[in-house]
Structure 1
Amino acid sequence: MISRFGRLPLRSRLALLTAAAMAVAIAVAAISCWLITRDQLMREFDRSLMQAEVPSTLPEVIRTVGCEEERPPGLADELNTDRTTAQIVLADGSACWLQGEHTIPVTETDRAIAARGGPRTEVVHDVTSDGTEWRVRTISGGLTVNRQPAAISLARPLSEVTDPLGTLALVLTLVAGGGVLGAGAIGLGVARAGLRPVERLTHTVEHIARTEDLAVEIPVEGDDEIARLSRSFNAMTAALATSQERQQQLIADAGHELRTPLTSLRTNIELLARSEESGRELPPGQRRELLESVTAQMTELAALIGDLQELSRPDAAPDKAQLEVVALDEIAGRAVRRVRLRAPEVRIDAELAPWFVRAEPAALERAVVNLLDNAVKFSPAGSRVEVRLGRDGLLRVRDHGPGIPEAELPHVFERFWRSPSARSRPGSGLGLSIVARTVQQAGGTVELRRAGGGGTEALLRLPGAPEPPPGSLAAIRGRGPGRSA
């Protein structure tokens, strides 16, 4: 049953739940009304029966006239009990009808009360006669008829209460049924009106899934939950569209960047292959230059592929499991040693004060290497690059090259962007964009600016402290006050 309900459309489920809730509420109200009415009617019924008192002259009349006649004259006038049925009950179980349309069967309780005599005694009990239920009140108090102890029974049919209650139950049932049907109709209408924005959202999602058109937006009305959902969905599609656009741009830029070294590599390899096929050997100097060019182009392709792999990682913050407390001065020292091996013609001076940060070690070292590579690439032979890591956590990398024009500084961290003056130099234009993303993921900042006296200065700042936090691996290993690389 539950599984069937779960397979129903949401609109039908809402209508059924609304109808069920209304049915429960109406049923509780109807039953409460019926029970309250029944209690009130029964109290009034019992009160009217108990108020039917026997006149003080009735015992003398009974002794005078006896009970031989079918109806002793004058007794009904003395009773004056309106709709109450009355009869005299003798100790031997016989009865003398006084008033009313029916006689009431004499029970053992009535005979016991009649035979008791003595002081006034009364008891109330129910009797069924010919399918009719009666509530009987039997009273004794020194009455005798034909020299036998006697009592008077006053009775009223319970139908005076049950008939109105039956009618009320029928009316309440009809009203409850109509209320449930009305509630179902109202619930269906409310479900349709309430789910109309959800239907629009569903149609939009289906359209996007079918056409992959991320430019479609859902109209937003109001500030309710549906409006919030619509705004969130629009924000999600906008983010997806931006991501798709960036992906397409990355593919296009990567294809453009790969085309040049691949074309040059293909040309050089074709020249070497043609020389082998024709048997005409190239001059040793030209052959050596071709092989060096092929090696350089392969190295450039490998670096470009590595950069593309780095940029293909999600822009979100890295997994916390990959973060650890590392010494930025150690990472910068290793980066300096690596770049010195690649560019021995440029002098790199480094002064590194202790500074501990929480980051991904490999990515952070790659970012520092890229900063140093960028500085070395634009430094003339015999010049120097200065690397300083202060006790405030600011890493400075300064070269003495031609510098970057002010108009080009806002673009240096864009993917595949290269200065017009640097397009003849090796590189893919991805190094600084990798630096910016790595630093941003570590919670830091990086910028490039023109240095006083010429050249370019890179400023990298990461949140951290000059001492490692207690319990970290760096704290366990222990560190000196500072060093130079």
Structure 2
Amino acid sequence: MRRMVRFRSLPLRSRLAILTAVAVAAAVTASALLCWFFVRGTLMNSLDNSLRDNRMPPGRVVDQLRAGLCTTEPPASDDQVPNPFNSTVQVVSRTGASCVIQGAQSLHVTSADTDVAKGTLREALHTVTGSDGNQYRAVTLPLLNTDGAYTVARPLDEVTESLNTLGLILLAVGGLGVIGASVAGLAVARAGLKPVDRLTRTVEHIARTEDLSVRIPVHGDDEIARLSASFNAMTAALSSSQELQQQLIADAGHELRTPLTSLRTNIELLERSEMTGRALPPQDRRELLSSVKAQMGELAALIGDLQELSRPQAVQGGGPLQTVAFHEAVEAALERARLRTGPDLKITAELAPWYVRAEPGALERAVINLLDNAVKFSPPAGSVEVGLHGGELTVRDHGPGVPPEDLPHVFERFWRSTSARSLPGSGLGLSIVARTVEQADGTVRLEPASGGGTTAVVYLPGGPTPPAGDDT
């Protein structure tokens, strides 16, 4: 466990190099072992075939046996007798007794040798130990027309020496291969992890400096390239969000400054009147208090709009999407709008049933914002016409209208046309409308109305009846 923890604590480059070396070492070891065993089997088969092919003829063995040339002690070496393979020939009786005809050592008699001497086994091919302590490869064959068998053996050194040499060669080659694989693995790891290193340096730079404008170069379409592209997209989104946040703070500060300055001025006038003992005329005092009250209401509305826009889009309005009767939300908004207007302004409506997927509170607030906007720009004794047909809501006023050059900006935060800057409002109402409609997969636009004024058009997908089994 400790070794595993230590391994995981190593840099990724080192781990890749180690894993490459281990994998190559395992492959080289397996290949070397297979090669060694294959060569061993080939050499042993060659030695066995040589023993069978170059053995002493049985007739000659019998002749030497009858001539008394078979002794229990190995005969003294005779340089005149050729023995190029240093072979040994030994006769084995049924009882297991043995004598040596050729060779400088005797061989251990096994049960397989006596079985061949008894005639129960045709041949015995095995490895035996000689009297000199060395290993011999031996084949035991029956004697013709004679009770017994004879063993022909050759030293196993001629095979083991070659195998030992091969093993050393394989060990050296394998070691060099593992070292080369480690170096190559480290080089490959360095080359392959360069994009990761760039990504790491970029992330560390962003974490250190909070500079979201940095981008990672993207080359190709592999996994690293896709990761880099995703990271660039993430930083771009974060940078955009940061810019919008800074813009929102700056715009909010600018919008809050005007009512706060006016409030401060009016309150200072009231305070100076109390401190000096010089009472303001009743009419001026009432106007100051009305102005303070209006500015407090404007501040409250601005703060409410800011809170609404500061919420994530997924939770805007404070609740999940559900099936809503669009016409009922419009009716509720109309009731609230009529309470805010004077008796001179007339609001008419023609509403057809329509059901949409939206958040009820946010939808009603969006309709109220449209109505408030139409009321604000309507002339005295004017009218506002509201219609809902086929999912399309229209709110038409008879005010001065919106200049064509201002139409692309009407749904931006804090944007107010030149003619509207003297009127109350925060410049956030239409931004909230656009956000609510977008959340419900709808569309919204302002367009000039025939005969003057402006028409706000909102379309929300849905149907004239609620979905089956849906509680509304």
- Check whether TM > 0.5: yes
CA-to-aligned-CA distance 1:451-484 (integer Å, 9 cap, x gap): 111110011011111111122112xxxxxxxxxx
Query: Is residue 356–residue 466 contact of structure 1 (8 Å, CA) maintained in 2?
Result: yes
Counterpart in 1 of 2:407?
409
| CA distance in 1 between partners of 2:179 and 2:61 (Å) | 62
Among candidates 269, 278, 281, match of residue 280 of structure 1: 278
1: CA distance between counterparts of 2:134 and 2:295? Answer: 113
Aligned residues: 464
Residue 379 of structure 2: aligned partner:
380
1:106 alignment partner, one of 105, 109, 112: 109
TM-fit CA distance, 1:54:
5.1
Change beyond 3 A, Cα 1:264–1:221: same
> Is 1:193 the counterpart of 2:194 in the alignment?
no
Q: What CA distance in whole angstroms lies between the structure 1 residues aligned with 2:372 and 2:204?
A: 49
Q: Would you say 1:136 and 2:138 are equivalent positions?
A: yes
After the TM superposition, which of the residue ranges 310-319 and 63-72 deviates more from structure 2?
63-72
User: How far did residue 396 of structure 1 move?
Assistant: 0.8
Distance 1:457 1:81, change over 3 A: same
Q: Which moved more, 1:296-305 or 1:125-134?
A: 125-134
Q: Is the 8 A contact 1:198 1:226 kept in 2?
A: yes
**Separation of aligned partners in 1, 2:319 and 2:337:** 29
Alignment of 1:290 with 2:288, yes or no, is yes
After superposition, residues 13-412 of structure 1 pair within 5 angstroms as 13-52=15-54, 55=57, 57-58=59-60, 61-62=63-64, 64-67=66-69, 84-91=87-94, 93-107=96-110, 109-111=112-114, 113-114=116-117, 116=118, 121-129=122-130, 130-142=132-144, 144=146, 149-315=147-313, 322-344=320-342, 345-390=344-389, 392-412=390-410
Please report how far the alpha carbon of residue 59 of structure 1 lies from its aligned counterpart in structure 2 after TM superposition. Answer: 5.9
Deviations along 1:135-190, one digit per CA (max 9) or x if unpaired, are: 3222224555xxxx442111122333322222222221222121111111111111
Could you tell me whether the CA contact under 8 Å between 2:386 and 2:395 is conserved in 1?
Answer: yes
- For residues 92-130 of structure 1, what are the alpha-carbon distances to aligned partners after superposition, in whole Å with 9 as ceiling and x for unaligned? 65544333343323345435544x37x994323332123
Q: Note if contact 2:256-2:299 (Cα within 8 Å) is conserved in structure 1.
A: yes
What is the aligned-residue RMSD (CA, Å)? 2.7
Preserved contact between residue 64 and residue 70 of structure 2 (Cα < 8 Å):
no
Change (3 A) 1:361 1:179: same
Aligned to 2:5: 3
- Contact map agreement 1:71 1:96 (CA 8 A) in 2: no
Map Cα deviations across residues 225-260 of structure 1 (whole Å, 9 max, x no partner). Answer: 222222222222222222222222211111111111
What letter matches 2:8 in structure 1?
G
- The answer to whether the Cα contact below 8 Å between 2:356 and 2:462 also exists between their aligned partners in 1 is yes
| In structure 2, distance between residues paired with 1:82 and 1:208 | 79
- Counterpart-to-counterpart distance in 1, 2:308 and 2:95: 114
1 CA distance for matches of 2:153 and 2:240? 91
Amino acid at match of 2:398: H
Q: Is the 8 A contact 1:67 1:96 kept in 2?
A: no
Distance in 2 of aligned mates of 1:360 and 1:368: 12
Do 1:326 and 1:356's aligned partners in 2 also have CA atoms closer than 8 Å?
Answer: yes
Question: For the Cα contact (< 8 Å) 1:87–1:99, is it kept in 2?
Answer: yes
> Are residues 395 and 263 of structure 1, via their aligned partners in 2, closer, same or farther at CA, if it must alter by over 3 Å?
same
Q: 1:25: how far off?
A: 1.5
- Cα distance change, pair 343–247 in 1 and its aligned pair in 2 (3 A): same
CA distance in 2, matches of 1:97, 1:103: 6
* Local SS of the residue matching 1:199: helix
CA distance 1:421–1:321, change in 2 (3 Å) = closer
Q: Which amino acid aligns with 2:21?
A: A
Find the counterpart in structure 2 of residue 428 from structure 1.
Answer: 426
Q: Is the 8 A contact 2:218 2:229 kept in 1?
A: yes
Q: Secondary structure at the match of 1:322?
A: coil
* Equivalent residue letter for 1:30: A
Q: 2:437 aligns with which of 436, 439, 460?
A: 439
Give the Å deviation of 1:364. 1.2
Aligned-residue offset at 1:361: 1.2
Structure 1 residues 362 and 42: CA distance shift in structure 2, 3 A: same
Q: Given that residues 69 and 101 in structure 2 are in contact (C-alpha distance below 8 angstroms), is that contact kept between their aligned partners in structure 1?
A: no
Local SS of the residue matching 2:154: strand
C-alpha contact 2:317 2:362 (8 A) present in aligned 1: no
SS class of match (1:447): strand
1:433: how far off? 0.9
CA contact (8 A) 1:448 1:457 kept: yes
Paired with 1:381 and 1:42, the residues of 2 have a C-alpha distance of 117
Aligned residue for 2:196, secondary structure, equals helix
CA distance in 2, matches of 1:252, 1:207: 27
SS at 2:215's partner residue? coil
Following superposition, the deviation at residue 440 of structure 1 comes to 0.9
Secondary structure of the 1:25 match is helix
**SS in structure 2 opposite 1:428?**
coil
1:473 pairs with 2:471: yes
- Report the more deviating stretch, 169-178 or 221-230: 221-230
Distance in 2 (CA, whole Å) between partners of 1:213 and 1:307 is: 30
The CA deviation at 1:204 is 2.0
Supply the AA of the counterpart residue of 1:411: H
CA distance in 2: counterparts of 1:402 and 1:63, whole angstroms: 139
Task: Show structure 1 runs of 5+ residues with no match.
Answer: 475-485
Contact 2:448 2:454 in 1 (8 A): yes
Q: Secondary structure at the match of 2:193?
A: helix
Give, in angstroms, the shift of residue 9 of structure 1. 0.9
For 2:319 and 2:106, the matched residues in 1 are separated by 96
**CA shift for structure 1 position 436:** 0.7
Give the SS at the match of 1:258.
helix
Shift in CA distance, 367/13, structure 1 to aligned 2, threshold 3 Å: same
